[in-house]
Chain A
């Protein structure tokens, strides 16, 4: 912030965009929204649309200094900045373009404040991660793997799979569980959010994104009564890629690489695409906590996988 000449930074948080504020304070507003104000010194201040009676809960689950209950986030932020950052000032806003209009409008109307996009600044400090975050991601990964391991071998219905995953992951402490399922790989490889129920085909795939203490990971696996030899080859190739992950797929895949993407947390979204088969890049910093997702077309059908990794050397599952 000092180098960028910022008098303060504003970070918006909501259920849909929790990760930046969670990284700084461990606070997730769930059904509400908030703005974290980071000043050059002192603990960050949380402006939140919660009533004061929720302050005890907020302080019990996160690391913020002052908490202010406000009825209108944007107006409250404008007032707060006028009091705490008097005079002409340049305020950095994470993901300014995406800031909800109702929050942004009062800030834009301020006569003394200039808003600057702080997305790149934040991304530059967000990764690589520290050992604590890696351990949280390892724990999240272990929860996900155990949940997938708990799927009954003879499962016939999507609801059976999803129920099993949900129970296992939540009993292990996952606070968010986001499954997608391709119920019949012979028919369609699309990972779906299911409403209602469907029969499972002979081969199906499950993708599970989950959060443990705000650390998000994504794991995906294919299921079949018998594990085909081709899947073992695909797994080996994928593990090898993941262990050396810093760019596109290595030579010699066991089938056509139909799609791949690398996601990392670089802003307010838990996982954002930072490289993909449509837009490869090679400058992801070593030590970045990421998830590699891919789809291979093998000789005997499609195969999907997703694995959490630390770029440059560690696979977490």
Chain B
């Protein structure tokens, strides 16, 4: 069950109601699923784990939920008895029927990332972009209660990484490392964790879900670990070596550490996400590694965090979203290094007046575990 502080749920709902009023929306239809649950979580504190879920949220209070799975419907009703919850094998049809009875001028549909074709093709199509932008605006800048949850998630990410380091031993398959971390996180009441990893040498070009590959001496082991607390995800990225770090691995670490420091130094209100990316990329260019900050070798230099693991803004040089206080993101100059393979290094931060607060506290070191 969701045990998010009641205040958090009520606060988000009040902010949403105010935004709906300002936008002239009486009913907001929100779509979600187990991957894109963030908008539903914000609007109603619902976290789907199976099937599609739709909510018809009236600005003045009531909400009706259409779930695809009976167990999910029962769970939502148990978590929040004030919601009107039903289930159907075709919830899209049910919602479509309901929408027909609403005033299209006072109803909106969101988010673009989760709305299905059949609903989008209907009369609410023109409302999707502005309604999504309205919700994005609410979700980008966190309240103090939201920051509190994010802070707890960051602390758990640190603890999770300590477990990961302990789990990394020669001969263990990648999935065993994740098993240890997930077991630890469940023991701490954390329901979800997004984690990918990589292990090996120069042949490793990215991270992926755990495979059956066993750790070997000399491996670089990368991970990004993203636990969820009260719905809010924080992330840490670190790299360790199985055995003593070689000279090339140490040299590589120094570049990534310098880039992370530069990226974090660039995070401040008024700066753009692009400037944060550029600050990191310039370090690589200065070290003759400019080729490796292109999309051929890396994805982003960080991204927003909150109710979604990979939120706005994407930290890329061409992204001009301006940072504001109480935005939360990870800065991570993760990319391929031609001498040692894929390398990750990143911390979760909160934008504050004049700069940012780094919330993950694991030392920025190239960790080493026994190769015995």
Contacts and interface: CB of A to CB of B under 8 A. Distances in A.
Interface SS of chain A: mixed
B50 A271 contact: yes
Interface centre among A57, A101, A180, A207 (most CB of B within 10 A): A101
Interface stretch (B97-105, B174-182, B347-355): B174-182
Interface in A83-119: 96-102, 104-105, 108
Give the size range of A's interface with the partner: 35 or more
Interface SS of chain B: loop
Given A31-B310, A54-B205, A195-B3, A100 B69 contact: no
A1 B290 CA distance: 48
A16 B208 contact: no
B316 interface: no
A197 interface: yes
Interface of A: 14-17, 28, 30-31, 51-54, 56-57, 60-61, 96-102, 104-105, 108, 159-160, 162-167, 170-171, 173, 175, 177-178, 180, 188, 190-198, 207, 209, 259, 261, 269-273, 276, 279, 293
A102 B211 contact: no
Contact of B128 (A56, A99, A101, A198): A101
A105 B77 CA distance: 34
Contacts of B33: 14, 16-17
Contact of B175 (A173, A188, A192, A279): A173
Given A51-B295, A192-B78, A192-B79, A197 B71 contact: no
Contact of B120 (A28, A101, A177): A101
A10 to B, nearest CB: 12
A274 B179 CA distance: 32
A269 B130 CA distance: 30
B114 interface: yes
A98 B208 contact: no
A193 B191 contact: yes
Given A57-B206, A57-B208, A163 B184 contact: yes
Interface string B170-193: 000001101110111011111100
Nearest to B96: A97
13 contacts: A31-B196, A98-B92, A166-B183, A167-B182, A167-B183, A173-B212, A190-B74, A191-B71, A193-B49, A194-B3, A195-B189, A272-B68, A279-B89
**Those 4 A-B pairs whose CB atoms lie nearest each other, nearest first:** A170-B179, A167-B183, A101-B120, A196-B3
Contacts of B259: none
Contacts, number: 171
B367 interface: no
A197 B1 CA distance: 9
A244 to B, nearest CB: 23
Contacts of A171: 175-176, 179
B51 interface: yes
Interface of B: 1-4, 33-36, 47, 49-52, 68-71, 74-75, 77-79, 89-90, 92-93, 112-121, 128, 175-176, 178-180, 182-184, 186-191, 194, 196, 205-206, 208-212, 229-231, 295-299, 309-310, 336
A170 B120 CA distance: 39
Contacts of B212: 173
Given A162-B186, A195-B189, A180 B230 contact: no
A296 B219 CA distance: 52
A159 B75 contact: no
B75 A100 contact: no
Contact of A98 (B113, B116, B206, B230): B116
A214 to B, nearest CB: 12
Contacts of B128: 101
A97 B298 CA distance: 34
Given A15-B35, A31-B310, A178-B50, A99 B116 contact: yes
Contacts of A188: 78
